[in-house]
Amino acid sequence: MTIPAPAPLPDPSSAPRQAPLTASGEMRRAEILEAAATLFDELGFHRTTTAAIAERVGTAKATVYHYFRAKHDILYAIHDEWIDGLLALFDATTEATDDPVQIVRSVAHDIVALIDEKPGHVRVFFEYFRELPPELQKSAKVKRDRYEGLVEAAILQGMKDGVIAWQDPRTASFALFGMCNWAYQWYRPGGKLTHEEVSDQLFAIFLSGVGSRALLGRGADA
């Protein structure tokens, strides 16, 4: 009867679940996601109440719960959308080229472009990951790790091809991610630089460093 029914399905992994959705309902769902992402970005996850999300969409709070089982499911959906976007872009790139350097260049471009396109979503992705309940965190991490693994593999391939110097591929890939992901902290759409300019510059640094040509060959161990 009034049994709480803790977790009938131990499968929140891939499918978003809840809300099979009928046409226009899908739009509402997207609206809620967008409103939530914006608010999470502006106020942070906790200061954003579900009522505020509803208000921004122009519906009642209960409607939000018609589309999402819980507040953190919204968070998860935003997260998922972002990483799926990156994975899709990666696939498109590797279908077009095998060159590791080009792949890495595309990765930098994709990340900064996505930061430009959906600024709100990015902060969610990076800062509110741990607000997810453990199971959701786990299944989110799977995709995340997949993407990181793909990029690291591309870098490793570059080393085998002789276009990237031998070094720890893990550190190298995290250096790339660091530079690009960090852009969400300072890059602002409509600012002085376009996202293409930013990713080009970051990629150039990643590939060739900031050192002047004059001291190239001197290496890092000064």
User: Would you tell me which residues interact with a second copy (CB under 8 A)?
Assistant: 43-44, 46, 101-102, 105, 126-127, 130-131, 155, 158-159, 162-165, 167-168, 170-172, 174-175, 177-183, 185-186, 193, 198, 200-217, 219-222
- What count of other Cβ atoms lies within 10 Å of the Cβ of residue 213? 7
Q: Which does 156 bind (CB under 5 to 8 A by kind): DNA, a second copy, none?
A: none
- What count of other Cβ atoms lies within 10 Å of the Cβ of residue 95? 8
Task: List CB contacts of 5: < 8 A, sequence separation 6 or more.
Answer: none
Least separation in angstroms between CB 144 and a second copy: 10
Tell me how far apart the alpha carbons of residues 156 and 170 are, in angstroms, rounded to a whole number. 9
The two three-digit tokens of residue 84, written as one number? 């799926």
Binding mask 67-106 for DNA (x = CB under 7 A): --xxxx----------------------------------
Asked if residue 8 binds DNA (CB under 7 A), the reply is no
Asked if residue 47 binds DNA (CB under 7 A), the reply is yes
Least separation in angstroms between CB 69 and a second copy: 19
- Closer of 28 and 121 to a second copy (Cβ): 121
Tell me how far apart the alpha carbons of residues 188 and 174 are, in angstroms, rounded to a whole number. 23
Task: List CB contacts of 101: < 8 A, sequence separation 6 or more.
Answer: 158, 163, 164, 207
Asked if residue 134 binds DNA (CB under 7 A), the reply is no
Give the up-direction half-sphere exposure of residue 74: CA atoms within 13 A in the CB hemisphere. Answer: 27
Least separation in angstroms between CB 82 and DNA: 21
Asked if residue 42 binds DNA (CB under 7 A), the reply is no
